Structure 1
Amino acid sequence: MSYLNGNTGYRKDILTTRSVIKKGNYAVLEPDGLVKNTIPGFTQCEITILASPLLGASFVDYLVNAAPGGGNRQGFGVSGEEIFFYVFEGTVKVWNEKEEAVVTGGGYIYCPEGTRLHFENTGDRAARCFLYKRLYQKIEGYEAHTVIGNINDVDWVPYEGMEDVLVKDFLPSATNLGFDMNFHILAFKPGACHGYIETHIQEHGAYIYSGEGMYVLDNDWIPVKKGDYLFMGAYCPQGAYGVGREDMFAYIYSKDCNRDVRL
C-alpha cells in the first residue's frame, strides 16, 4: 500500500485529519491519508477509490493517474454498469465498442451499459483522470448512447439565474430520458453561494479541483478546498459558499436523475 500524496513515515506533529466520515449520510475526504489501490486490468496506473457502496453510495468514484503508455486496454466495466471517464490533464485515447477519440484536458467519454471503457495515455506526461461507475436503470422505450466531448467547448450557464454561480452539463440528460445520471461542473465566484440549502433524494460525488469553500452537510459547516472529495447521500442537507480569494470554488460532480423510486 502507498499513499496518494506520497508522504510516508513519521510526521512532525500529532496525528490529525480533516476527513469526516458519516456512512450513508455524507463524507469529506482530504487527500492526506488516501491510499493507492491495485485494480486488475489497469497498467501503469495509480488508482484511489473514493466513494463506494461501503460508504453508502450507489456508485463508485476513482482518481486515476496514468503514466505515459498506461491505461486499461482490456476494458473496464461489467454487464449492467455505465461508465464516465474525465481527463483533468494529459492526452488520452479513449474508446468503447462504439466510438473512439483522443482527448486532452477537459475531455471525457460516457460509456453506456453494454459497452466497456478502454483508455491509454498516449502523451509524454502523466494523465490525471476521474472515473465513475454505476448500475444503469433501464426503462422501456429509452436507452443511453456513447458521448465523447470536451467540457471546455461548453459555455457556462448561470446557475438558477445567479450570475456569480455557474454550471456546465456533460450529458444530454435534460432532454433524453435514456440517461439516468449526469455530470456537471459547478463554480462559485468568491463570495457566491447556493440560493438555499438543498435537500433531495439524489446522491452526489464531488471532486473539488479549484479554490476553497465552506460546505454545509447535514447542518455541519466544513471548510473544503482543492483536492478534497465529497460524498452527499440522499436527503443530506447541502449547500456551499465560495470563500477563496482568487480562484473560483469549482467541482465536478455526479447526480442520478430521470427515474422513479424503486420499492
Structure 2
Amino acid sequence: MTYAFPPGGLPDQGVDPEGTAVFTDAYAVLPACTMRDIVTSFLPGWQKARAWIIARPLSGFAETFAQYAVEVAPRGGSDNPEPETGAQAAILVADGEMTLEIGGDAHTLRAGGYAYLAPGAVWSVRNTGDAPLKFHWIRKRYEPAPGIESPDSFVTSDQDTPVNWMANTDKWGTTRFVDPSDLRHDMHANIVTFLPGGRIPFAETHVMEHGLYVLQGTARYLLNKDWVEVGPGDFMWLRAFCPQACIATGDEPFRYLLYKDVNRHPSLRVPAL
C-alpha cells in the first residue's frame, strides 16, 4: 500500500501550463501537479512545517470541512495545532514518523497510521524522525446532539483495520475507522478501495459533502456529468448532491481517503443577513 502526497517543487519553463484542473459549481478537481511549493502556507503555531490547504468551507459549495496536506521537517511540529475550539480532526500519515501526543499519552505513527482527535482534545505533533513527516489532516467543527455523548480520541492504522467489502462484490470496499452506527461521530474519514475492474455501479447522489484524496492507483471518476481521469495525489472536492461513480483502471488497487459529513439533522435556521 502506498499513500500519495503533494509533489511540491516547481515545473520547469518548458512545461505546458494547460492541465486537467477543474472548478465547477458542483465539483472541483485539483490534480497533484497543481500542488507545488508556491501554493503552500506556513501556519501559526507550527515550526518547520508547511501545508497545502486543498479544501476549506466555501459558501454555496462545500461548507462543512477543511482538508490539508502537511509536511514537517525533522524536529518540527506544533504544541497547539488546532486553532478553533470545538473542532475535531482526522489524521492519516503518508510518510515519515509522527509522535502524536493526546492528553499526555504519546503515540508513534508511520505510513498508514490514523488518528481521530475529538473536539476539545489536547494534542501535539512532532517529527521525531530524520526524514520529512507527511500527513493528511481533515478538520470539521463538531455538532453536538441531544442525548449523544462526545466521541473519544483514538489511534489505529490502515494496516490494522479490515476492509468492509460491499454486498455482492469483493472489488469495492471501505476501511471504516469508525462504526457507521456510532452516532457520536458526525464525520467519517475512511479509505475506499477498488480492486482492478471494481466500480461504483450507479451514480451516487446524496446530501453528504466529500473530499477524495487519491492515495494509490488510477480510475475514471464520474463527477456530475463529466468523466475525469484521476491518479495518485489528485484531489476531488464535491458539494452535496453532486452525482458520482467510479471505474478503477490499471493493474493495482485504486484507493482514496474519503471525508463525509454524517449522522446529524440539517439545520433549518435561516442564516442571518
TM-score, length basis structure 1: 0.92
Give the corresponding residue for 1:27: 28
What's the CA shift string for 1:26-81, capped at 9, x where partnerless? 11101223321111112111210001123732210000111111211223241121
Match of 1:261 among 245, 262, 266: 266
CA distance in 2 between partners of 1:154 and 1:14 (Å) = 42
Gaps of 5+ in 2: 1-5, 269-273
CA distance in 2 between partners of 1:77 and 1:151 (Å) = 27
Distance 1:169 1:77, change over 3 A: farther
Give the corresponding residue for 1:212: 218
Give the corresponding residue for 1:152: 159
User: Is 1:202–1:235's contact at 8 Å kept on the other side of the alignment?
Assistant: yes
Q: After superposition, where does 1:1-263 map in structure 2 within 5 Å?
A: 5-8=8-11, 10=13, 12-23=14-25, 25-34=26-35, 35-54=39-58, 56-57=61-62, 58-97=64-103, 99-142=105-148, 143-172=150-179, 174-244=180-250, 246-263=251-268
What's the CA shift string for 1:164-214, capped at 9, x where partnerless? 112111123x23211111111111111110121100000111110101100
- Note the C-alpha offset of 1:149: 0.9
CA distance in 1 between partners of 2:122 and 2:31 (Å) = 30
CA distance in 2 between partners of 1:22 and 1:219 (Å) = 11
Distance 1:260 1:91, change over 3 A: same
Distance 1:188 1:120, change over 3 A: same
CA distance in 2 between partners of 1:212 and 1:21 (Å) = 20
What's the CA shift string for 1:224-253, capped at 9, x where partnerless? 111101111100000100011x22111011
**Percent identity between the two aligned chains:** 28
User: Is 1:77–1:83's contact at 8 Å kept on the other side of the alignment?
Assistant: no
- Mean Cα deviation higher: 137-146 or 208-217: 137-146
State the superposition RMSD in angstroms.
1.8
Q: Secondary structure at the match of 1:32?
A: helix
Runs (4 or more) in structure 1 with deviation over 3 Å come to none
- Note the C-alpha offset of 1:9: 5.2
Distance 1:161 1:41, change over 3 A: farther
Q: Secondary structure at the match of 1:250?
A: strand
CA distance in 1 between partners of 2:171 and 2:11 (Å) = 40
Equivalent residues, number: 257
Gaps of 5+ in 1: none
TM-score, length basis structure 2: 0.89
